[in-house]
Chains A and B, each alone.
Chain A
Amino acid sequence: MLTAAAILTDGLVYAAYLFIVAIGLTLIFGVMKILNVTHGSFYAFGAYGAATAVGLYANGDWPPVLGFLTMIALAMAIGLVMGLILERGLLRLVYGKDEVVIVLVTYATFLILEDVIVLIWGPQSYAAYQPMVAAGSVQIGELILSNYDILLVAIAIFLAVLAYWSLKYTRYGRLLTTVIYDRETAAAFGINVTLVYTVTFVIGAMLGALGGAVMAPKIAVTLGIGVEVIVLAFAVVAIGGMGSIEGALIGALIVGVCRAAAVHLVPQLELFVIYGVMALVLVVRPYGLFVRAQPRKI
């Protein structure tokens, strides 16, 4: 019973982490059909920005909540600026090119940004643990849970609801959905697809940076953190279906719970389980769980 409860809670926390880092990636793919490797850089810059903000707040005499909000705000501001610069300054130049070319462009940008991190923050690690320590922990039975982990789950749920509501019930969400279905038809109906692309990429970048910011208190913010994230996010997005928000949510839940079960029951399979699940899903549904049938264009 204890193990089952631990698997469930650990799975939920890990799924929250996966969903937060994957939502921006899947949004950009859904609208722009770009597999954005630079998403790892958004995550890393968000984490470094958060660590910088936490450093400022730890040296001041601010209440923890204000510190946490500053961290989020700074990271998202970084995401906004980066997203805008990259989309307007670089990606718009390669729209219409082969998908592989665009992936290579985002990969090259990712590598350059890794060095930019060294230029700005140096090679040393940064810590941003203060919000996690301030959050404390709660004991449920024999299980001690970090309140910060519970907050992560809440943030993931909030993002999922916000994304669902925005896409279904807002004007911009409907425009976005139209572009997701068919870019050319959307443009023919007068939708400013260029603007939709810019706004979507910036939102995706901000979500990537948000992922880094909320994870920063749990990890050492160090060189290379973006690499791991992009691989994991890609696995989750592939399971759920490229471009599907609900797919990313379900994909994250499946991977999170399976991984937690593996760690508790068969730890030797921990490394295998994420990619095992991905392979299994792709064998049955090659385009992921939640991708709609595509009409064939003539």
Chain B
Amino acid sequence: MPHHHVRIPFALAALAAFAVTPATAQQPAAPAAPIKLGIVSFLTGPAASPFGIPGRNGAEIVIESLNAGKGPPPFDKVGFGGTKVEAKYVDEAGTVANVVTEFRNLVQRDQVDAVIGYISSGSCLAVTPVAEELKALTVFYDCGTPRIFEEKPRSYVFRVSPHATMDGVGAARYLVAKKKDLTSFSGINQNYAWGQDSWRDFLGAMKVLAPKATPDKVLFPKLFAGEYGAEISTLLTSKSQAVHTSFWDGDLESFIYQQSARGLDKRMTIVATTGEAAIWRMRDKMPDGTIIGARGANGPLARENAYQKWFHDIYTDRYNTPPTYPAYQMAQSILGVKIAYEKAAAGGGKPTTDQVAAAFKGIEFEGPAGRVKMALGDGHQGITETAYGTYRFNKQTKQPEVIDIIRFPAECVNPPPGIDADKWIADGMKGAKC
């Protein structure tokens, strides 16, 4: 009896297996579930046009190209490691509390595999502890504050794009290289964290690089002030030979239009650390001779290589305008996640978040904006070279150009590992390898 009890079900199972297996074997393998990314950037509000939309568009076109397996090697494997990627786009606009809620929704409700995004440093600072708490792989693409990885070690948060220190140090190095007789300079920056930090880094670097040049007018109009008549008069009545600004979008354009009418750029050189994001809109209204930064070797400051050409071409074909630096930052960030994912998946199967995070630490790769080394923040914060140049509107081609480009190696404009950016600048930028 026991035999019968065993044999009949076994026989039935064998028959069932015989009957089912061939049919099952003839069907194609079920496609792996797509890898889900949450892409967060400003889709509305003043930061949408200069940063948020280019970042979102950069994500869209890169994911599309990667899913089609059309990335340049080593990015030519479909999606991430052969699995297609799908993105959910979320607006960063709103209060910081809202940003954190949306982040939680992406991780807990939508179960995304990684979140890539954030432009505002306030958003990044608020999301970081939540990302660590939820053990959610999170890659910041544009926010600049160095505090993320200086305050404490992180496990799940990464940033491929260099932090903002590089922008101020690079601007100072370029200005000193181009204006050796500089004796006085001024600054006009927005009165919030970004403007204050940008000026502090630039001023600190200038004190090291050009100790005889003195800061004159230090202006901090409020964010989105729109009207800069008094500030322009103040600068016009100063003896400065250069004015530093980290203004962006509407504020930058308003300032440029208003100063152009009063000839400020004829009296002093404007150093616009984020100017690249505006040149395609402003064209011949951006004064020739303006020193232009792109928060790294992005846009027209990028070196020509296969990655840059691939990204520039797919973006320009789709959106009829060349990609600006936020688009490059997004592309670099997605490619960083792809490299980490594929490295973690090398053992087979879908890697866990912990495996991807472990693989992400300290990676190096070549992307559209040059070589990224995840060298700071215990391998969580990237550094790249940066470049500055001088703007010129080419009247023959009727296209914006950046000429006289000077490149600064990553180790020349970023602090060494383990040293806070502020302290590094204040101590004379020791260890800079230029």
CB closest chain-A residue, reference B225: A228
Which one of A13, A123, A219, A270 lies within 8 Å of B43 (CB-CB)? Answer: A123
B221, A222: Cβ atoms closer than 8 Å? no
Which one of A9, A14, A127 lies within 8 Å of B285 (CB-CB)? Answer: A127
A123, B258: Cβ atoms closer than 8 Å? no
A132, B226: Cβ atoms closer than 8 Å? no
B45, A149: Cβ atoms closer than 8 Å? no
Within 8 A of B (CB), among A1-35: 2-3, 6-7, 9-11, 13-14, 17
A224, B45: Cβ atoms closer than 8 Å? yes
B222 to chain A: which residues have CB within 8 Å? 270-271
B52 to chain A: which residues have CB within 8 Å? 123
Asked if B237 lies at the interface with its beta carbon under 8 angstroms from chain A, I say yes
A114 to chain B: which residues have CB within 8 Å? 44
Measured in the bound complex, the distance between the Cα atoms of B45 and A268 in whole Å is: 27
Measured in the bound complex, the distance between the Cα atoms of B227 and A148 in whole Å is: 13
Q: In the complex where A125-B281, A127-B285 touch, is A17 in contact with B231 (Cβ < 8 A)?
A: no
A125 to chain B: which residues have CB within 8 Å? 49-50, 249-250, 253, 281
Which one of B230, B234, B237, B249 lies within 8 Å of A222 (CB-CB)? Answer: B249
B257, A220: Cβ atoms closer than 8 Å? yes
A267, B263: Cβ atoms closer than 8 Å? no
Which of B103-111, B212-220, B412-420 lies at the interface with chain A? B212-220
A220, B253: Cβ atoms closer than 8 Å? yes
Measured in the bound complex, the distance between the Cα atoms of B93 and A223 in whole Å is: 12
B258, A218: Cβ atoms closer than 8 Å? yes
Within 8 A of B (CB), among A133-160: 133, 135-137, 142-146, 148-149
A6 to chain B: which residues have CB within 8 Å? 230, 233-234, 236-237
B254, A218: Cβ atoms closer than 8 Å? yes
A14, B260: Cβ atoms closer than 8 Å? no
Which of A60-68, A257-265, A290-298 lies at the interface with chain B? A257-265
A17, B227: Cβ atoms closer than 8 Å? yes
Asked if B125 lies at the interface with its beta carbon under 8 angstroms from chain A, I say no
Which one of A3, A115, A215, A225 lies within 8 Å of B237 (CB-CB)? Answer: A3
B45, A137: Cβ atoms closer than 8 Å? no
A123, B262: Cβ atoms closer than 8 Å? no
CB closest chain-B residue, reference A265: B234
CB closest chain-B residue, reference A271: B222
A271 to chain B: which residues have CB within 8 Å? 191, 220-222
Q: Chain A interface mostly helix, strand, loop or mixed?
A: helix
B251 to chain A: which residues have CB within 8 Å? 220
Q: Chain B interface mostly helix, strand, loop or mixed?
A: helix
CB closest chain-A residue, reference B321: A124
B263 to chain A: which residues have CB within 8 Å? 137, 144
Which one of A264, A268, A270 lies within 8 Å of B233 (CB-CB)? Answer: A264
Within 8 A of A (CB), among B180-234: 191, 217-222, 224-227, 229-231, 233-234
Asked if A287 lies at the interface with its beta carbon under 8 angstroms from chain B, I say no
Which one of A115, A132, A224 lies within 8 Å of B261 (CB-CB)? Answer: A132
B261, A123: Cβ atoms closer than 8 Å? no
Measured in the bound complex, the distance between the Cα atoms of B98 and A254 in whole Å is: 38
A133, B261: Cβ atoms closer than 8 Å? yes
Q: Taking the nearest CB of chain A, how far is it from the CB of B110, in angstroms?
A: 23
Within 8 A of B (CB), among A222-241: 222-225, 227-229
B263-278 Cβ-contact flags toward A at 8 Å (1 or 0)? 1000000000000000
Asked if A118 lies at the interface with its beta carbon under 8 angstroms from chain B, I say yes
Measured in the bound complex, the distance between the Cα atoms of B261 and A13 in whole Å is: 14
Measured in the bound complex, the distance between the Cα atoms of B261 and A224 in whole Å is: 24
A142 to chain B: which residues have CB within 8 Å? 236-237
CB closest chain-B residue, reference A138: B262
Asked if A204 lies at the interface with its beta carbon under 8 angstroms from chain B, I say no
Measured in the bound complex, the distance between the Cα atoms of B267 and A142 in whole Å is: 12
Asked if B90 lies at the interface with its beta carbon under 8 angstroms from chain A, I say no
B227 to chain A: which residues have CB within 8 Å? 13-14, 17, 215, 218-219
Q: In the complex where A132-B261, A263-B234, A270-B220 touch, is A225 in contact with B250 (Cβ < 8 A)?
A: yes
Measured in the bound complex, the distance between the Cα atoms of B251 and A10 in whole Å is: 18
Measured in the bound complex, the distance between the Cα atoms of B57 and A123 in whole Å is: 13
Which one of B221, B225, B249, B257 lies within 8 Å of A129 (CB-CB)? Answer: B257
A127, B233: Cβ atoms closer than 8 Å? no
Q: Taking the nearest CB of chain B, how far is it from the CB of A116, in angstroms?
A: 12
A9 to chain B: which residues have CB within 8 Å? 233
A123, B233: Cβ atoms closer than 8 Å? no
B46-77 Cβ-contact flags toward A at 8 Å (1 or 0)? 10111011000000000000000000000000
Which one of A127, A136, A146, A227 lies within 8 Å of B258 (CB-CB)? Answer: A146
8 additional contacts, CB 8 Å, given A13-B227, A225-B226?
A: A123-B52, A125-B281, A215-B227, A218-B258, A220-B252, A264-B237, A270-B191, A271-B222
What are 14 of the A-B contact pairs (CB < 8 Å)? A13-B227, A132-B261, A133-B260, A142-B237, A143-B237, A217-B257, A219-B227, A223-B44, A223-B45, A224-B224, A225-B250, A228-B225, A229-B226, A268-B220
